[in-house]
Amino acid sequence: MTYIVKPVNHHPNLEKNKLGLTRRDYEGTISTLCAGCGHDSISAAVIEACYDLSISSDQIAKLSGIGCSSKSPSYFLNQAHGFNSVHGRMPSVATGANLGNKDLLYLGVSGDGDTAAIGIGQFMHAARRQLNITYIVENNGTYGLTKGQFSATNDQGSKSKYGEENVFAPIDLPTMAIQLGAGFVGRSFSGDKQQLVPLLKAAMKFEGFSLIDIISPCVTFNNHLGSTKSFDHIREHNESVSSLDFVPIGKEIKTTYKEGTKVDVPLHDGAMLTLEKLSKKYNPLDKGQAIQSLNEAEKNGKVLTGLLFINPEVKDHAEILNISDTPLNQLAEKELCPGAKKLAKINASLN
Amino acid sequence: MNKISSINEFVIKFANVNGSGSASANQMFAKGIFRSGIPVSPKNIFPSNIQGLPTWFEIRASEKGYLGRKAGIDFMVAMNPQSYTQDVAEINPGGYLLYDSSWKRDFKREDINIIEVPLTTLCVDEFNNPKTRLLFKNLVYIGALSYLMNINKDIFIKLIEEQFKGKEKLIAPNVQALEIGFKYAKKHLVDACKIKVNQANLTDGMILTNGNNAGGLGCVYGGATVCTWYPITPSTSLAESYKKYCDQLRVDENTGKNKFAFVQAEDELASIGMAIGANWNGARAFTATSGPGISLMTEFIGLAYFAEIPVVIFNIQRGGPSTGMPTRTQQSDILSCAYASHGDTKHVILIPSDPKECFEFSADSFDISDRLQTPIFVLSDLDIGMNDWTCPEFEWDDNRKFDRGKVLSKDDLDSMESWGRYLDVDGDGIPFRTLPGTHPEKGAYFTRGSSHDEYARYIEDGEVNARNLSRILKKFEGAYKFLPKPIFKQETNASSNGLIYFGSTEAAMQESLDQLSVSGFPIDAMRIRSFPFGPEVWNFIDQHETIFLVEQNRDAQMKTLIVSEGNVNPEKFISILCFDGSPITANFISESISDVLLNKNTSQPAEEIK
């Protein structure tokens, strides 16, 4: 961590996006995480993605649970409202927030302890309900704030900093999310900005539950030899299944992918996701194949990354519930309170 | 044989098997009396079970308006051989027992009047389908009662027509079943019963409904747009009532879209989390639950308290502790609500006493919650929530406007130089809040349950934290100004003895006070309607030497709350406690109190009554 206060003044010639904002306008307060923490790279990728998409920060709500990961929403998007809720319960708060105003963009930031252990129930039900959220898991396989206990995503046989061996099999969040019907499931690595930023942009544009499981090594407690969530281990075992470009509405698709490897996926607002399959076997539109590939990779000690699954057909939670086009928090009093005349009728039905 | 003779003043009880369709028939009978112009209080005493166990339905009819439960049954309709022994024992001497005499039986009680109706035989003769035969038995006894008690049969025919509106085919056979019973009684049971219903007009301007129905409707009127809940008896029907009325009143006529959201959550942790999330975003949201649900929600309740997010929580209390008696009533969650969650937390509670207040407090709770930016409990119970009560019609003033409290608009933010989410600018402890999406550059902050300063920044400075906690306490201490004041039974105090009660005990109280008056113990009574307590409560306690505190729990929880919140002498309270899961009766209250007062007169020490 650093104690240096961020300078407020911006360089006058910084690059600007469509809203006339610079990347600095998307920053947050200074990080208090350990120097070199993977989570900080993820915050930088979120800043980059929001800048690229020219989203106004006030249209974003960032929510988190408890843990190192859940502190990170402070470190990006200062002008967005944030909600650091209780441990493992961010999905329910985000669900309620979304019911209240379905038009904001919801960024959920969680960790492997927050999602795969204490919060696994809420995570599963949010995926099942197709909550419209970009759900980021900053996955480091360890409980950092409480000093290095194993988490439920830690690989069996992986060693802790203190030499202890993890004896339980891990929970694979992407596999579980696909099974539960999440519309968009990806995995990435905090050290791979090139893959992560387009994945984040696509997830933010996706209307439905989008999970990005981001392996984010813990430099203090889980970056040693014997750890399967260390920078070195991930770099060696990373197998990307797809590379993608996010093409906003009206832009020409210019990517030059090899014949037969390109998949175009239209998103809800008309934007296009162009995807290059890096593995012949992999089809991210096929639920069964996606799960099979994830299982095989796990057997072979590989970590599949990229866009793992997408179902562009899903309806999000608000649409399933047939919620009015005007967000519920903006309905006028006269639309909500039926008044005395209607009450007289109700009285009549009760006597 | 002595026959109880009474007009418009009696208790009738139905003993049935649950899952046999009896509840709706019994409900119809209660409504028949109500439509005859006599106040009624039907009480469904049901098991936590779907089919096969004994279930009872008690109806008290009282032209005096005494609608509390009363022990001792004047008329028993015994439809369940499993519970015959217990049911027959409950009948008052001179009372009546109606049973299905298709199988004759000797009940071994010489002091009651046995009325035999061969219900099964009558149904078998008239109906072919075995399932319908079973259901129609209920209608047959209603028909017989209609004759025996002289309740206009047309009232029941009309009720059947209303009930089966849209399923017209069912009207004729139901009416036929009613007629069978009526005709049988007319032929065989002339003068068998001296309990009669005489048409009156005492229910004009009244409705017959339950608190959960009223509470759900109050949420619609109070502007709630989000209901997130998890099924739990006895609160489920409140959420369902909200949905029912929203389907009628909150669907956009043009688009067919919902101006509400109704989400059955995966558990109570999620249901409260969702309600908090929606309120954080400025949509009025609530959850409805019961004791075990409150236990699960407490972590989140602490978050909403400390982060100062409005949220309305209905707790329809049932018998505890643990799973307890899910289908019986108690007032035993007072402390678990008042101090829910770890750390220093205190919460505002509204305590309605009948369905009308359930409607009013439900609508009010959203204004109060927005005004105070804190969780509000509406503390009802199974007796009010699930039983129908005769109560005045709901009222609404169209000039009334929602009070959204201190929420800053975009223009407000533009005109302000600085703003702190937890700054007390008005001196009332209530800060100003902003909603996400209001302003592109101003008003964003980080909501958190960790310690924070006036600007919502994370801090670990003990002094700043203490300052914040003290401000929240200040807000709480001023809360009574926004809450329903206590109700006094007398215009001016006339006795050195005071009585405090609350919630569903109201049903038994007038009768009890009248009984005490007749016995020469007039007593001043005050009904508490909210917490924290205002000056009226403290003054009343001050003004009386002895306070009888009537509660439907074992541990005198309201007394604990009063004693711990105010500088009052605990010695002055005598607790009258009923915690057997049945609604408290007037006799229990007045007998307990007169026992104490008689002892006092003979200068024996008063003991706690349980």
Q: What is the 3-state secondary structure (H, E, C) of B235-296?
A: CHHHHHHHHHHHHHHCECCCCCCECCEEEECCCHHHHHHHHHHHHHCCCCEEEEECHHHHHH
Inter-chain touch A84–B447, beta carbons under 8 Å: yes
Cα nearest neighbour of B268 on chain A: A92
User: Is the distance from CB of A208 to CB of A130 less than 8 angstroms?
Assistant: yes
Q: Does B264 touch chain A (CB under 8 A)?
A: no
User: Is the distance from CB of B11 to CB of B126 less than 8 angstroms?
Assistant: no
Q: CA B437, CA A328: separation in Å to the nearest integer?
A: 13
Between A57, A83, A322, which is nearest B280 by CB? A83
3-state secondary structure of B5: coil
The domain of A158 spans: 23-349
B251, part of any domain = yes
Spans of chain B below 50 pLDDT: 604-606
B14, part of any domain = yes
Q: Does B301 touch chain A (CB under 8 A)?
A: no
> How far is residue B580 CA from its own chain's centroid?
17
User: Is the distance from CB of A209 to CB of A215 less than 8 angstroms?
Assistant: no
Inter-chain touch A122–B283, beta carbons under 8 Å: no
Say if residue B191 is in the same domain as residue B240.
no
Between A56, A125, A340, which is nearest B266 by CB? A125
A16, part of any domain = no
Interface of B with A in 422-451 (CB under 8 A): 434-441, 444-450
Cα nearest neighbour of A62 on chain B: B446
ipTM of the complex: 0.95
Say if residue B499 is in the same domain as residue B386.
no
> How far is residue B498 CA from its own chain's centroid?
25
User: Is the distance from CB of A78 to CB of A27 less than 8 angstroms?
Assistant: yes
B419, part of any domain = no
Q: CA B264, CA B63: separation in Å to the nearest integer?
A: 42
Inter-chain touch A58–B217, beta carbons under 8 Å: no
Pure H helices in chain A: 38-53, 68-71, 90-100, 112-116, 120-129, 173-180, 193-205, 231-237, 287-299, 317-320, 333-336, 339-349
Q: CA A351, CA A142: separation in Å to the nearest integer?
A: 62
Say if residue B314 is in the same domain as residue B185.
no
Say if residue B491 is in the same domain as residue B576.
yes
Burial of A177 per CB tally in 10 Å (0-12, 13-18, 19+): buried
Helix (H) or strand (E) holding A81: strand A81-84
User: Is the distance from CB of A46 to CB of A80 less than 8 angstroms?
Assistant: no
B83, part of any domain = yes
Residue at which a domain ends, from B139, B163, B196? B196
A18, part of any domain = no
Contacts of residue B32 in chain A, CB cutoff 8 Å? Answer: none
A151, part of any domain = yes
Say if residue B169 is in the same domain as residue B214.
no
3-state secondary structure of A333: helix
Inter-chain touch B265–A125, beta carbons under 8 Å: yes
Q: Does B260 touch chain A (CB under 8 A)?
A: yes
Number of A to B CB contacts under 8 A, please give it: 219
A212, part of any domain = yes
Given this model, what pLDDT does residue B606 score?
A: 45
Between B220, B273, B397, which is nearest A92 by CB? B273
Inter-chain touch A96–B262, beta carbons under 8 Å: no
Domain count for chain A: 1
Say if residue B188 is in the same domain as residue B228.
no
3-state secondary structure of B65: coil
Amino acid at residue number B87 = D
Q: CA B243, CA A322: separation in Å to the nearest integer?
A: 14
Q: Does B397 touch chain A (CB under 8 A)?
A: yes
Residue at which a domain ends, from B342, B363, B392? B392
Contacts of residue A323 in chain B, CB cutoff 8 Å? Answer: 257-258, 261
* Bridge partners (DSSP) listed for residue B97: B76, B114
Which residue, chain included where needed, has tokens 């600095």?
Answer: A24
Say if residue B573 is in the same domain as residue B526.
yes
The domain of B536 spans: 487-601
Label each residue of A132-181 as H, E or C.
Answer: CEEEEEEECCEECCCCCEECCCCCCCCECCCCCECCCCCCCHHHHHHHHC
Q: CA A228, CA A239: separation in Å to the nearest integer?
A: 14
A1, part of any domain = no
pLDDT digit string, tens, across residues B374-430? 999 999 999 999 999 999 999 999 999 999 999 999 999 999 999 999 999 999 999
CB B569: neighbour CB atoms within 10 A?
9
B467, part of any domain = no
Cα nearest neighbour of A124 on chain B: B266
Contacts of residue A351 in chain B, CB cutoff 8 Å? Answer: 34-35, 203, 206-208, 393
Contacts of residue A322 in chain B, CB cutoff 8 Å? Answer: 256-258
Categorise residue B424: left if φ over 0, alpha if ψ from -120 to 50, beta otherwise: beta
Q: Which of A337, A341, A349 to mutate to test the interface with B (most CBs of B within 10 A)?
A: A337
Say if residue B511 is in the same domain as residue B555.
yes
The nearest CA of chain A is from the CA of B382 a distance in Å of: 20
The nearest CA of chain B is from the CA of A294 a distance in Å of: 28
Inter-chain touch B274–A92, beta carbons under 8 Å: yes
CATH (domain of B222): 3.40.50.970
Between A61, A91, A342, which is nearest B436 by CB? A61
Domain count for chain B: 3
Q: CA A78, CA A81: separation in Å to the nearest integer?
A: 8
Inter-chain touch A82–B444, beta carbons under 8 Å: yes
Say if residue B28 is in the same domain as residue B119.
yes
Q: CA B288, CA B159: separation in Å to the nearest integer?
A: 31
Inter-chain touch B283–A101, beta carbons under 8 Å: yes
Say if residue B240 is in the same domain as residue B166.
no
A2, part of any domain = no
B275, part of any domain = yes
Inter-chain touch B225–A82, beta carbons under 8 Å: no
Contact partners, residue A45, CB within 8 Å, separation at least 6? A190, A193, A196, A197, A200
The nearest CA of chain B is from the CA of A311 a distance in Å of: 24
The nearest CA of chain B is from the CA of A217 a distance in Å of: 25
Between A122, A321, A339, which is nearest B258 by CB? A321
Residue at which a domain ends, from B137, B169, B196? B196
B7-28 core/surface letters (b: 16 or more CB in 10 A; e: else): bbebbbbbbbbbebbbbebbbb
* pLDDT string in tens for chain A (351-residue length): 345 566 667 777 889 999 999 999 999 999 999 999 999 999 999 999 999 999 999 999 999 999 999 999 999 999 999 999 999 999 999 999 999 999 999 999 999 999 999 999 999 999 999 999 999 999 999 999 999 999 999 999 999 988 899 999 999 999 999 999 999 999 999 999 999 999 999 999 999 999 999 999 999 999 999 899 999 999 999 988 888 877 766 565 555 566 567 778 887 777 777 777 777 778 889 999 999 999 998 898 889 999 999 999 999 999 999 999 999 999 999 999 999 999 999 999 999
A231, part of any domain = yes
Say if residue B192 is in the same domain as residue B216.
no
The nearest CA of chain A is from the CA of B319 a distance in Å of: 28
Q: Does B83 touch chain A (CB under 8 A)?
A: no
B411, part of any domain = no
* Bridge partners (DSSP) listed for residue B9: B62
Contacts of residue A83 in chain B, CB cutoff 8 Å? Answer: 277, 280, 446-448
Cα nearest neighbour of B257 on chain A: A324
CATH (domain of B548): 3.40.50.920
Q: CA B72, CA B89: separation in Å to the nearest integer?
A: 9
Cα nearest neighbour of B34 on chain A: A351
Residue A56, both tokens: 């106004």
Between B209, B250, B270, which is nearest A92 by CB? B270
Inter-chain touch B270–A121, beta carbons under 8 Å: yes
Inter-chain touch B225–A339, beta carbons under 8 Å: no
Contacts of residue B263 in chain A, CB cutoff 8 Å? Answer: 95, 99, 321
B438, part of any domain = no
A4, part of any domain = no
CATH (domain of A330): 3.40.50.970
Say if residue B181 is in the same domain as residue B258.
no
* Bridge partners (DSSP) listed for residue B527: B487, B501
Contacts of residue A346 in chain B, CB cutoff 8 Å? Answer: 217, 245, 394
Question: Nearest 5 degrees, angle CA B169-CA B175-CA B179?
Answer: 150
Q: Does B103 touch chain A (CB under 8 A)?
A: no
